[in-house]
Amino acid sequence: MLKSELRTLVRQYKRQFTQQQLCGLSLPIIDRIKPLLREAHTIVAYYSLADEVDTHRFIDELLAAGKTVYLPRVVSAEEMVLCRYTGADSLRQGAYGIMEPIGEPMPADESIDVILVPGMAFDAQGHRLGRGKGYYDRFLGSLSQPCPQLIGVCFDFQKVEIVPTEPCDVSVDVVI
Ligand SMILES: Nc1ncnc2c1ncn2[C@@H]1O[C@H](COP(=O)(O)OP(=O)(O)OP(=O)(O)O)[C@@H](O)[C@H]1O
Ligand SMILES: [Mg+2]
């Protein structure tokens, strides 16, 4: 199956659920992530769109628990950078309708423990299909060693047998 075909298929799956149903389906997934972040100090998350596993409340919980949280901000047609999340009132709508922090960019010497990576589909080997712009592949590919733990986050219906990949696709360590 082509990447584009798999994206179309996953979009069809998603349309079978209301946004409220997707929010409900998100809760057990977030509960599965929580124990994996217990030891983490610095976490890169994503601020979910309506059709993604809902992270909004969870991100505030991480902040309240004393974690340092960064979110992506799209700065060009190719690049996203990370900016510190300090609360929902510091978010502004950015490219693709995604809410982005207006806070400080992540310092170059910051050490990230965990990255929550959204995806359109994942397979059991951690292969990931994104939305097709390559933002995450470029960002994850640019990370220096030691690499943070990469956790792929998706609804169960987004877990597929085989995700088609190319050499520049970055895989995740675990799919939740
Ligand atoms: N490290 C990279 N350097 C240069 N181009 C890249 C890199 N990674 C991906 N690309 C390019 O980006 C485009 C989109 O890649 P791909 O279809 O894998 O996106 P995706 O993984 O679905 O999206 P995203 O990463 O934004 O979630 C492709 O043309 C691919 O060649
Ligand atoms: Mg890719």
- Domain borders along the chain are 3-120+132-175
Structure tokens at 54: 């809902």
Residue 108, φ and ψ in degrees, nearest 5: -60, -30
Q: What is the pLDDT of residue 51?
A: 96
- For atom 10 of ligand 1, the residue with the nearest CA is 134
CATH number, span 3-120+132-175: 3.40.50.10420
Q: What is the pLDDT of residue 104?
A: 87
Model-level pTM greater than 0.85?
Answer: yes
| Ligand 1, atom nearest to 141 Cα | 1
Q: Is it the case that residue 82 has pLDDT exceeding 90?
A: yes
Q: What is the pLDDT of residue 64?
A: 98
- For atom 4 of ligand 1, the residue with the nearest CA is 138
For ion ligand 2, residues whose CB falls within 5 Å? 137, 169
Judge if the upstream peptide bond of residue 107 is cis by omega within 30 degrees of 0.
no
Kindly state the average pLDDT of the residues 111-122.
98
Kindly state the average pLDDT of the residues 77-93.
96
Q: What is the pLDDT of residue 146?
A: 78
